[in-house]
Amino acid sequence: MDTRVGKTRALLLLVALFYINSHVDIASVSAGIPSYGKCLSSEVRSFSFHEPPINVSASLADSRTPALAVSGFLEGSSLQGDTVHVVWEEGTRVYHRFCHGGTWSPIRSVATGEQPAIAIDVSGIAHLVFVNEFGGNYEIYYCRWNGTSWSLPRNVSNTSGISAAPSLAIAPDGMPHVVWADNTPGYNVIYHAYWDGMYWINEPIPNAMGGAPAVSVSAGGVVHVVWQDRDAPGAPYEIYYSRWNGKDWSLPENLSDSAAEQSIIPSIATDRNNETSVVWQEKVSGKYAIYYTRGRVGFWSVPEKISDSGAEAYLPSIAAGPSGTVYAGWDESTLARYRQRGISDATWSQFISVISDPMGVTDLQLAVDVNGRLYAVWARRVAAENWDIFYQNLSYKLVLPLVIKKFRR
């Protein structure tokens, strides 16, 4: 007699509570699955990916040069008070939208201007800088978000020359630091300004000339600045670095050190160990690629190419998480992607796709919250003559369900 007839046995095929909070480097690379998320989310979700990137501008006018900042603080093991802020330029104005508690605010116009940059302090206050023409001169202006509205713009640069390309970072004590390119002396120099509680104090960074500056501030309050400059008229651009300890600026250091190639548009981030990471766009064999170095004054790693050699890569962005993980992203005209590496990793992750669209993708910007979750914004062509700003939460938590299968013996 076959004792298997009429008998069943429950076979546990999968009993796994598989928690992933690793910014899609495992799932999307191995399975080819995009990670879609709400504006901020800490909930555990089933194995489904149905939430597309969010069009935050949704305008018939061109929306470009987005910037992104994420606030939040830890209470126990959960993220509290979390808010995403996105700003962009559209026509002659800067626009803003934020998401809190899973709900997006209406779009609001902040001020006349362009080239916005945004950052959030430890108390959750958003700070914004942008360029605006007033009285025939371009200046850097600053606004502060109080939770419901923006303050009136305040002139940060206040120079006689053209001020452009601002970058903004917030020190641990809440002090905003701004850098920009300015031609007041008759040639381009890099300016630095900070708010002392009553006034904006600004001055040129010694021996810093050129353009496209970027700034970060370490946990110790040290200000780090990178920019592009030429070693001689007509020579290719190089990437330079200097840091301010509150008293003195270090001598500029050439980080790219590629005299025969063009190195432009740097981005900078400083991790919890006060180590600074820098990425930039460099021309190699006729194509632009993304290069990376990390270190501190006088001690920098050998620059390494981190983009794919098969396509041209543009406009790099870098962000550092609280655990020391670094994320570097860029666009390849129709594709936006990024890679990551941990503080002790010797190599980068595989390429992780954010968005692919044959119509066109550009201006990828990355941000990390206090829980180490990764977020992105970018500009995407939605029609022949129209670009919109898109946002995506690139982190998720995943639970693989319990599956019980019965079979006969």
Q: pLDDT tens digits for 9-59?
A: 332 222 222 233 333 332 232 223 333 346 654 443 333 343 579 999 999
User: With 80 as the cut, is the pLDDT of residue 402 above it?
Assistant: no
Strand 304-305 relative to strand 287-296, pairing = antiparallel
Residues 95-116, mean pLDDT to the nearest whole number? 95
Q: Write down the pLDDT at residue 52.
A: 77
Q: Domain residues of the chain, as ranges? A: 8-408
Percent of the chain with pLDDT over 70: 82
Q: Write down the pLDDT at residue 407.
A: 40
Residue 182 sits at φ, ψ, to 5 deg, of -145, 135
User: With 90 as the cut, is the pLDDT of residue 107 above it?
Assistant: yes
Residue 28 sits at φ, ψ, to 5 deg, of -70, -30
| Contacts for 187-192: CB closer than 8 Å, 24+ residues apart | 190/225, 190/227, 191/157, 191/159, 191/163, 192/223, 192/225, 192/244
CATH number of 8-408: 2.120.10.10
Give the confidence band of 272 by pLDDT, cuts at 50, 70, 90.
confident
Q: Write down the pLDDT at residue 343.
A: 75
Rounded to an integer, what distance in angstroms lies between the CA atom of residue 124 and that of residue 209?
33
Task: Pick the range with the lowest mean pLDDT from 64-78, 91-105, 290-304.
Answer: 64-78
Q: Write down the pLDDT at residue 72.
A: 66
Q: Write down the pLDDT at residue 271.
A: 84
User: With 60 as the cut, is the pLDDT of residue 77 above it?
Assistant: no
Length of the chain equals: 409
Residues 271-290, mean pLDDT to the nearest whole number? 92
Q: How far is CA 176 from the centre of its chain?
A: 17
Q: Is 318 left (phi over 0), alpha (psi -120 to 50) or beta?
A: beta
Residue 358 sits at φ, ψ, to 5 deg, of -65, -15
Residues 151-176, mean pLDDT to the nearest whole number? 96
What is the greatest pairwise CA distance in the chain? 100
In the structure encoding, which two tokens stand for residue 171, read together?
């020190």
Integer angstrom CA distances of residue 283 from 294, 306, 335: 20, 13, 19
Tell me the average pLDDT of the chain: 84
Q: Which of 327, 336, 328 is nearest to 377 (CA)?
A: 336
